[in-house]
Amino acid sequence: DTEVTQTPKHLVMGMTNKKSLKCEQHMGHRAMYWYKQKAKKPPELMFVYSYEKLSINESVPSRFSPECPNSSLLNLHLHALQPEDSALYLCASSLTGVEQFFGPGTRLTVL
Amino acid sequence: QQQVKQSPQSLIVQKGGISIINCAYENTAFDYFPWYQQFPGKGPALLIAIRPDVSEKKEGRFTISFNKSAKQFSLHIMDSQPGDSATYFCAASISYNTDKLIFGTGTRLQVFP
């Protein structure tokens, strides 16, 4: 299996909802990432897990909460989001850190 | 110093032509330079990458040219096809400080038949 999968593909949520994004890879990669991408912009790094430990948090608001249950899974828990949080949320994984492989993303709309 | 500047913002090329996208950086510690291709509604896909010990790398119709002294690198797409229409991002990274990719601002390429 040589891909990163993400679920759901689309998510619409209200500002009071709690939802989770899921990411999975079976390439044996040691690092997994969450990125946020707004339209016509490059991906912005949010979190990095290396060997299942949070290694980078790019000063992301606490309404985003990452979790890495095991070396193949990465979750992003969402709570009390704002409309400006609407974006494409990308998961990536890497063995080396420099070659990063992205999933298809979850299109999130916050109403 | 952590920025990667990318140009042009958008590019229109006729089918069969050559598409050229340029990137420039300041931080001389960068030692890995990938290019990503992103189609609408999809995640970025690693297209080709280069390290500063070589001046050129070619994979099929895609070539990276690297000028270490000028701190510039570029992507050339030969014989551009309508299927190449996508947004292209250059990026840079420091191998010993892994996990952080510094992305350029992106170039939207449109190839017309």
How far apart (Å, rounded) are the C-alpha atoms in residues A91 and A104? 8
% of chain B surpassing 70 pLDDT: 96
The pLDDT of residue B99: 84
Q: Which run of H or of E encompasses B107?
A: strand B107-112
Are A102 and B41 inside 8 Å of each other by CB? no
Chain A contact present for B105, CB below 8 A: yes
Contact A66, A49 (CB under 8 A): yes
Q: B63, B55, B47, B50: which is closest to B92 by C-alpha?
A: B50
* Low-confidence stretches of chain A (pLDDT beneath 70): 1-2
Task: For chain A, list residues whose CB is within 8 angstroms of any CB belonging to chain B.
Answer: 4, 31, 33, 40-43, 45, 48, 50, 55-56, 88, 90, 92, 94, 96-105, 107
The angle at the Cα of A28, spanning A23 to A31, to the nearest 5 degrees, equals 60
How far apart (Å, rounded) are the C-alpha atoms in residues B63 and B70? 18
The pLDDT of residue B1: 65
User: Residues B46-84: pLDDT tens digits?
Assistant: 999 999 999 999 999 999 999 999 999 999 999 999 999
